[in-house]
Structure 1
């Protein structure tokens, strides 16, 4: 019997187009069937730039053969996840940030807060600095 497809919520900001995130999603797909939803927190004043970054990331990953959708979310990463999180819909979370010292999300404790809010483990990907 084939493994069921897992639905993975991927939270990323500026790192959504990073090679590290791309490699992590390929590695996750290699472990078993997966569908990914890229969630990019974006402010209204910068939504056009965020939308373009998200579209580029989705197109690259689809071109690589991954099943990917994308959506913009609230500027606050925790609120963005809370607004879309459904434990029936999603099985896993992947969080992409810049390294410690460069990541406001790490300073705010976003990885642990996501685990508490959703009850699922959060795989953390550290992306290279731009």
Structure 2
């Protein structure tokens, strides 16, 4: 049946990622491992906001860089927990972790303790996605020996 590794942050819970997960579940995949690269708040894209309360994370004023790091971690942890619940509600078995800010490094580190059969990289839409500008899907493909599928969120 296999295991699918999902790499995402702001797009966790988005319609396109949910559809990709549903396809895998329908094909018999039940095990999912979610890696959320610890994205700094300055890299979050405020203009992209899907109509899903999953993303309704209130802005918190940052007094200093330590507050900003703590808030970034809080957001990533919250998104991860919500996505794990979503996967379980859809019939999957799910676990996950926060990862290195560099998505390729986060995947490499996760693969030291998790075996997967596919990697789903969920990104913001072209033009908004820093991961696409950094060619993250290709960088991940160079560190894994399984298929890498890119899921681009709708604008």
Name the TM tier (shorter chain): 0.7 to 0.9
CA-CA distance at 1:63 after TM superposition: 1.4
Select which of 80, 95, 100 maps to 1:54: 80
What residue ranges of structure 2 are gaps of 5+ in the alignment? 41-68
TM-score (norm 2): 0.74
Would you tell me which structure has more strand in proportion to its own residues?
1
Superposition map of 1:75-94 within 5 A: 75-86=101-112, 89-94=115-120
Matched, 1:7 2:3: yes
**Coordinate RMSD, CA, aligned:** 1.8
C-alpha separation between the residues in 2 aligned to 1:88 and 1:21?
A: 21
Partner of 1:30: 26
Which contiguous aligned blocks of 4+ residues in structure 1 show a shift greater than 4 angstroms?
A: none
What residue ranges of structure 1 are gaps of 5+ in the alignment? none
Would you tell me which structure has more helix in proportion to its own residues?
1
